[in-house]
């Protein structure tokens, strides 16, 4: 690959990354269309509600659970959606005297949304609108998006703590959808990203100077393209892992014991207070990123041998950053600096090994 080609390709990736970032950080939310304003009509700005007083609302059902020595309290309400899969929550709350919230990362106070699946809230991945483990006054707006539209959702007010009190001054939940023009623009961005990544793949496929390493590089880039552009929901293995992870309401205190015996043990359903715990899966995925970008860096040292190793490492690093940004276009995927850092670890390991081998063999770097 000529230096001039590399330069223009890098400029293309950087320019597309800037366009994608600006759109999603500063423009995307303003283009959303409100479908249904304020699901939570019970709450008004002129009143302040303590957590213990929420049971007076007929639309809110209470679920009290005792786990790990703490009394966890949950209020939830079923909401009919208006056709969009975006939700925004405007909140103003005061949290006080939280204790026993550091036992698990999901402990504390939070607002969550759960899609309804077969009549019950589906818990494979709760969409948390707000979460805190510290006392204080909290005001702001948060937005979440589901991978697809559901007919109805469960909005939950959850306190997972040994002790604590919460004053709700205002909460307003709005349902949003995307207009046709916004969807066309986003699909256009996805297509441009696909074309940009395909360009590098086709280049290595057609490179006859170093066929072996070029084919390996092309194969690794194909894996990256699939990983970046395919939503997580399309990987059916995740559906199998999360199948049946739901919770059901405990009807009354008297029925709690029989419910646990007949349902929790027999049907192996998870409690609302348990998160999907697949740490090993996360470690394998992160490790796969390190190996993938390490192998890509190593193969490009051979496939792009006319370029200096530092230049090749820089190109792969730019690719790692820009492909992470490209995931802003894909539902169920998120871009984070942590993931970029994991990719760069693979680049660093490959560079270190390459330099050590070259020095040991007495070759110039």
> Would you write out the chain's pLDDT as a tens digit for each of its 365 residues?
566 677 888 899 999 999 999 999 899 888 999 988 888 876 765 577 777 777 777 777 776 555 455 567 888 888 888 778 889 999 999 999 888 877 777 788 999 998 888 777 776 656 889 999 999 999 999 988 887 788 888 898 988 888 888 898 888 999 998 888 998 999 999 999 999 989 889 889 888 788 899 999 999 999 988 888 876 655 544 444 444 444 444 444 444 444 344 444 334 434 433 444 445 556 777 888 899 999 999 999 999 888 888 999 999 999 999 999 998 877 767 778 888 999 999 999 999 999 999 888 877 76
C-alpha 365/C-alpha 6 separation (Å) is 20
What is the Cα–Cα distance from 329 to 168, expressed in whole angstroms?
34
Per-residue pLDDT at 74: 85
Give residue 348's pLDDT: 95
Asked whether 95 and 134 are in contact (CB, 8 A), the reply is yes
What is the sign of the dihedral through the CA atoms of 21, 27, 33 and 39? Answer: positive
Would you say the pTM of this structure is higher than 0.85? Answer: no
Half-sphere exposure of 334 (CA within 13 A, CB side): 7
Q: What is the pLDDT of residue 206?
A: 86
Asked if residues 309 and 301 have their Cβ atoms less than 8 Å apart, the reply is yes
Residue pair 166/93 in contact by the 8 Å Cβ criterion: yes
β-strand 136-145 against 108-117: which pairing, if any?
unpaired
Q: How remote is the C-alpha of 351 from its chain's centroid?
A: 30
Per-residue pLDDT reduced to its tens digit, 204-261: 988 878 889 999 999 999 998 888 887 665 554 444 444 444 444 444 444 444 434 4
Q: What pLDDT shows up at residue 251?
A: 43
CATH architecture of 34-177: Sandwich (2.60)
Confirm if 85 and 146 have CB atoms less than 8 A apart. Answer: yes
- pLDDT (tens digit per residue) in 251-281: 444 444 443 444 443 344 344 334 444 455 5
Question: Scanning the structure block, which residue is given the tokens 């395909």?
Answer: 198
- Max CA distance (Å), the chain: 79
State how far the Cα of 300 lies from the Cα of 310, in Å rounded to an integer: 11
Nearest-5° Cα angle at 220, 5 to 294: 90
The pLDDT score that the predictor gives to residue 258 is: 42
Q: How far apart are the first and last CA of the chain?
A: 19
- What local confidence, expressed as pLDDT, does residue 102 receive? 76
CA–CA distance, 289 with 192 (Å, rounded to integer): 23
Identify the pLDDT of residue 313: 93
Tokens of 225: 């393209």
Q: Where are the domains of the chain?
A: 3-28+182-243+278-360, 34-177
């Amino acid at each position: 690959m000529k230096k001039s080609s590399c330069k223009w390709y890098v400029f293309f990736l950087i320019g597309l990354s800037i366009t994608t970032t600006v759109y999603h950080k500063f423009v995307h939310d303003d283009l959303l269309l409100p479908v249904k304003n304020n699901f939570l009509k019970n709450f008004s700005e002129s009143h302040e509600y303590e957590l213990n007083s929420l049971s007076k609302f007929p639309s809110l059902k209470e679920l009290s659970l005792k786990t790990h020595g703490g009394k966890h309290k949950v209020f939830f309400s079923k909401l009919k959606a208006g056709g969009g899969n975006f939700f925004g929550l405007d909140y103003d709350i005061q949290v006080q005297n939280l204790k026993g919230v550091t036992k698990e990362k999901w402990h504390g106070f939070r607002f969550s949304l759960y899609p309804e699946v077969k009549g019950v809230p589906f818990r494979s991945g709760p969409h948390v609108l707000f979460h805190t483990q510290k006392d204080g006054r909290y005001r702001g707006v948060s937005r979440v998006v589901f991978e697809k539209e559901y007919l109805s959702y469960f909005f939950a007010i959850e306190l997972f703590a040994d002790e604590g009190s919460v004053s709700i001054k205002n909460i307003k939940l709005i349902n949003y959808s995307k207009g046709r023009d916004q969807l066309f623009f986003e699909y256009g961005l996805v297509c441009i990203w696909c074309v940009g990544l395909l360009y590098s793949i086709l280049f290595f496929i057609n490179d006859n100077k170093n066929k072996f390493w070029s084919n390996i590089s092309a194969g690794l880039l194909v894996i990256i393209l699939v990983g970046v552009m395919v939503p997580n929901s399309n990987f059916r293995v995740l559906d199998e892992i999360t199948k049946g992870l739901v919770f059901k309401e405990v009807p009354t205190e008297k029925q709690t014991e029989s419910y646990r015996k007949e349902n929790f043990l027999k049907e192996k359903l998870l409690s609302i207070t348990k998160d999907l715990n697949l740490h090993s899966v996360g470690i394998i995925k992160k490790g796969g990123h390190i190996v993938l970008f390490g192998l890509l860096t190593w193969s490009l040292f051979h496939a792009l041998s006319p370029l200096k190793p530092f230049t090749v490492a820089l190109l792969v690093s730019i690719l790692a950053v820009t492909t992470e940004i490209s995931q802003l276009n894909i539902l169920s995927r998120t871009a984070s600096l942590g993931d970029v850092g994991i990719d760069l670890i693979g680049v660093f390991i490959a560079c270190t090994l390459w330099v050590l081998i070259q020095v040991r063999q007495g070759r110039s770097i």
